[in-house]
Amino acid sequence: MRGWHGHKLESKGFICLLGSVRIGGVKVEDWNTPSTSTDTFSADLTQDSMDFVYLPAGYANAILSLTPKSRVMVFSSSTLEESQDDDYRFPTSTWRIDA
């Protein structure tokens, strides 16, 4: 699993290019001490569906591979430089990523 990774200002979008993945999202209310009881959501993406998951600014995300060698394309509303100044990472155990 990759995550949890969030941004106060940056929005993200996800498409699965190869295999299948689960994208998790959670609204972060307190970036310094986030509540571990906040409800999360998840969506399963496959290479065949070409579905798109959008996470607005203020959310953290996680990506869980459901098949080996899965690949995800991630879209961002920010430049790399802007993103680096708006980068928050949390342990994978902070929230659950369920179906």
| Helices within the chain (DSSP H only) | 80-84
Between CA 7 and CA 99 the distance in angstroms is: 23
Between CA 30 and CA 21 the distance in angstroms is: 27
- What is the pLDDT tens value at each position of the chain, 99 positions in all? 888 999 999 999 999 999 999 999 999 999 999 999 999 999 999 999 989 999 999 999 999 999 999 999 999 999 988 999 999 999 999 999 875
Contact 84, 28 (CB under 8 A): no
CATH class of segment(s) 2-89: mainly beta
Q: Can you give the pTM of this predicted structure?
A: 0.90
Domain range list for the chain: 2-89
Strand ranges (E), 8-58: 12-18, 20-27, 40-46, 53-55
Determine the pLDDT at residue 99.
58
**Between the CA of residue 50 and those of 5, 16, 29, 53, 56, what are the distances in Å?**
23, 7, 30, 10, 19
